[in-house]
Amino acid sequence: MYTISAGLGLVNVEHAIPAYGITVSGKGLESVATRINGEFDPASWWSAVSEGPYSTPIATLFTGKGTGCIVAALSQPYARMLASSLDALPNSAITRLRIVGANLQSILPTRLLPSVLPYDERLQALLPGTRADFAQRALLHFVQMGLSEHPNADAATHRNWVASILSRKKVPVQRKRQRLQDEEILSLIQRHLPSNTGIGRLLRVLRDNEGVACEQARFSRLYREAIDGREFL
C-alpha cells in the first residue's frame, strides 16, 4: 500500500519517513501554494517531489507479475497534482487503474475517465462520513465490496457495479446545523466534558444533540483549549 504525499511523493506505508507538514489542499499554513512565489502548478510540484529519495515512481506499481487493480483515492487537489503523471502511464497500466473521489471528471484528462468509478453523494447512505474523507470511504467500499464480488473484472464492469449499488440509494437529507462563535462552542464543550470522554464522541454530541456546525480542525483546537483550561483549574 502506498500513500500520496504532497511533500515526499508516492510513499510506501511501510517505510520510515521524516516528519513534515505540507499539503496541496486548502490555504492554511501547511499549504504548498502559500510558500511559492508566483502561480502554483500542482503537476510541476508533483514532478519535483517524485524525484525525492522517499518516493516511488507511479509506473513501478504496474510492473512485475501482478495483474490486479490499482485503486487510487484522490481528492480534487491531489487529482490535479497527479493528473499528468497518471495520463502518462501506458495503456496496459490504465486498464488496471481504478480512481475514486468526488467530482473528478472535470479535473482528470479524458483518457483517464474510463478508470473513474462513479461514486457520488449517495455514498453517504452506504458509509457515512465527512466531505473531506469521501475518497477514503469510496476506496474502502470498493475494495471491501466491489473487488470481493468482481476481483478480475474490467473497468466497465466495476463502473456498472458501483452505479448499480448507488442506484438503490438516495442522498440522505442533511440536517441544517447552526453556526456559532468560538466562545459559544467552547462553552458547549465545557458543559459536556464531564459526561463525555474523547474528542470524536464529543464532536458527535455537538453535531447531533446540539445541532452545531463545527469543522473538525476547529473543534480540535477548541477541545484542546477546554482541556487545558480544566487542567489549569
Q: Residue range 84-100: average pLDDT?
A: 96
**What is the spatial distance between Cα 41 and Cα 44, in angstroms, rounded to a whole number?**
5
| Burial status of residue 97 (CB atoms within 10 A of its CB: 0-12, 13-18, 19 or more) | buried
| pLDDT at residue 176 is higher than 90 | no
Return the percentage of the chain with pLDDT > 90, whole number.
61
Which residues, at least 6 apart from 160, have a Cβ–Cβ distance to it below 8 Å? none
Q: Per the confidence metrics, is the pTM higher than 0.85?
A: no
What pLDDT, in 10s, does the model give residues 119-169? Answer: 999 999 999 887 888 999 999 999 999 999 999 999 999 999 999 999 999
Contact 233, 215 (CB under 8 A): no
Mean pLDDT score of the chain: 89
Confidence category of residue 232, pLDDT binned at 50, 70, 90: very low
- Look at residue 181 in the predicted model and tell me its pLDDT: 92
The model's pLDDT over 13-49, given as tens digits with 9 standing for 90+, comes to 999 998 888 888 766 677 888 888 888 899 999 999 9
DSSP string, 111-173: GGGGGB----TTHHHHS---GGGHHHHHHHHIIIIIHHH-TT--HHHHHHHHHHHHHT--PPP
Look at residues 45, 52, 42 and name the one whose alpha carbon lies nearest to residue 75: 42
The conformational region for residue 169 under phi > 0 = left, psi -120 to 50 = alpha, else beta, is beta
User: Of 78-92, 95-109, 171-185, where does mean pLDDT reach its minimum?
Assistant: 171-185
Section 55-79 average pLDDT: 91
Q: How far apart are CA 89 and CA 44, in angstroms?
A: 17
